[in-house]
Amino acid sequence: MIHTVLDILKIREDFPILKRKVNGKPLVYFDNAATSQTPQYVIDVIVDYYSNYNANIHRGVHALSQEATDKYEEARIKVQTHFNAAHSHEIILTSGTTHAINIVANGFSSLLKKGDEILVSAMEHHSNIVPWQMLCERTGAIMKVIPMSLDGELLMDKYHALLSEKTKLVFCNHVSNALGTINPIKEIIDAAHAVGAAVLIDGAQAAPHIIADVQALDADFYTVSAHKICGPTGVGFLYGKEAWLNTLPPYQGGGEMIAEVTFEKTTYAGLPHKFEAGTPNICGGIAMGAGLDYMNSIGFDAIAAYEHELLEYATDKLLQIEGLKIYGTSKNKTAVISFNVGIIHPYDIGTILDKLGIAVRTGHHCAQPIMEFFQIPGTVRASFSFYNTKEEIDVLVEGVKRAKAMLE
């Protein structure tokens, strides 16, 4: 038995929300794959911003604007350092992963032509499907799907067979939000590059568990949302290789993204500002950097080891419930368990669990093609974080048993 090196009870003290009750019961928060909770350290950074240096950035000559700009740019460098980007201007701060993907999908509108092919994995979130379908409608490019196995693993031989000189883009998540599978993205990227295709990796679900080194991976684009990594909602980033970001046209027009504007012609600002039109979520960007600082203070190796321990414990305990089936059984997965119990609708189980103070996700997890693949209306998804405990998993297991007794 592995014993964690983390002092979980002390870590839990950092999260004020974990002290609250829901429906009269202590909150058990297992919806971390949707949104991670916010430590006091990050809340303090948000309060400090609005209390002490709230100002618009990049333009003001006054002290507050300068301070806000410095902190915002520091956050960009924190992201660059954490994900090992070659340059800070390769980090485009966005409203989140969806925004980041749309920047790339929109940019490729002028680069694709009829008959070009783009490949997307079978386990994508809608946000990594719909923008590319729209791109195909605009350009006449064709989308093909990399299939997966019943374990929820991509069929890599099929992937290699789909690649050709027609392939221009490949999209894949680093970790599946619905199944937790960690995809072999290095192999995916290298094979795509061999045929001259660019690769976008949706890192939203990987970022809380794994440090992606974008240079070592050789990813062309990598996207993350702050609310998965102890930061606030409504902010995230797009990493793009400098050459690609210079090639893609800007996504939105507006202030901040220009060099010079006349009514005849506008010249665009350089990176990263070319893709950052308008006043950004300044406080959110700074808080995203603080979220990374907080997680690094705990350490991603320790987090990954402990979460794996939680995953094994929960998998073992849940599988003891008769009729419980887990979807996504790859050996290589993050601390996410998607399951159903017999023919009970996931919504029913989620409703009863909520009554017991347990927060899980139910439904199709914005990944309807996966549910179609398994021929189910949805699943119950419990996703664990480093501040969760085995005692909480016991509460979940008892809750599922109780729900089962009521609903069968």
Partner 1 sequence: MNIKEIQDDIIDEFSMFEDWMQRYEYMIELGKALPLIKEEYKTDDNVIKGCQSKVWVHADLEDNKLVFTADSDAIITKGIIAVLVRAFSNQKPQDIIDADTQFIDDIGLKEHLSPTRANGLVSMIKQIKLYAVAYQTQIAKPTSPQRGS
- Give me the residues that bind partner 1 (CB under 8 A), please: 23, 344-348, 351-352, 355, 362-364, 377-378, 406-407
Active site residue 366: yes
Nearest residue (CB) to partner 1, 97 versus 362: 362
Burial of 130 (0-12, 13-18, 19+ CB in 10 A): middle
Strand, coil or helix: 235: coil
Nearest residue (CB) to partner 1, 287 versus 344: 344
Strand, coil or helix: 347: helix
On whether the CB atoms of residues 143 and 288 are closer than 8 A, the answer is: no
Nearest residue (CB) to partner 1, 5 versus 406: 406
Q: What is the DSSP letter of 196?
A: T
Please tell me the distance from the alpha carbon of residue 252 to that of residue 277, in angstroms, as a whole number: 6
Residue 406 CB, nearest approach to partner 1 (Å):
6
Nearest residue (CB) to partner 1, 57 versus 344: 344
The label of the residue with tokens 């039109």 reads: 277
Residue 378 CB, nearest approach to partner 1 (Å):
6
Q: What are phi and psi of 358, to 5 degrees?
A: -100, 120
Nearest residue (CB) to partner 1, 206 versus 353: 353
Tell me whether the omega of the peptide bond preceding residue 272 falls within 30 degrees of 0, making it cis.
Answer: yes
Strand, coil or helix: 254: coil
Please tell me the distance from the alpha carbon of residue 324 to that of residue 316, in angstroms, as a whole number: 11
Nearest residue (CB) to partner 1, 160 versus 355: 355
How many CB atoms sit inside 10 A of residue 126's CB? 15
Amino acid type, 348? D
Residue 177 CB, nearest approach to partner 1 (Å):
16
* 381 strand-pairing partners: 338, 361
Query: What is the DSSP secondary-structure string of 133-183?
Result: HHHHHHH--EEEEE-B-TTS-B-HHHHHHH--TTEEEEEEESB-TTT-BBP
Note the Cα 393 to chain centre separation in Å.
23
Nearest residue (CB) to partner 1, 42 versus 353: 353
Residue 322 CB, nearest approach to partner 1 (Å):
18
Residue 25 CB, nearest approach to partner 1 (Å):
11
Residue 341 CB, nearest approach to partner 1 (Å):
12
Residue 117's Cβ-side half-sphere holds a number of Cα atoms within 13 Å equal to: 15
In this structure, the strands spanning 142-146 and 117-121 are parallel
Strand, coil or helix: 375: coil
CA angle, corner 382, sides to 374 and 339, nearest 5? Answer: 30
Two structure tokens written together for 300 = 């991603």
Nearest residue (CB) to partner 1, 223 versus 362: 362
Which run of H or E residues covers position 10? helix 8-13
Residue 281 CB, nearest approach to partner 1 (Å):
23
Residue 402 CB, nearest approach to partner 1 (Å):
8
Indicate which residue of 136, 172, 283, 366 is catalytic: 366
Active site residues: 366
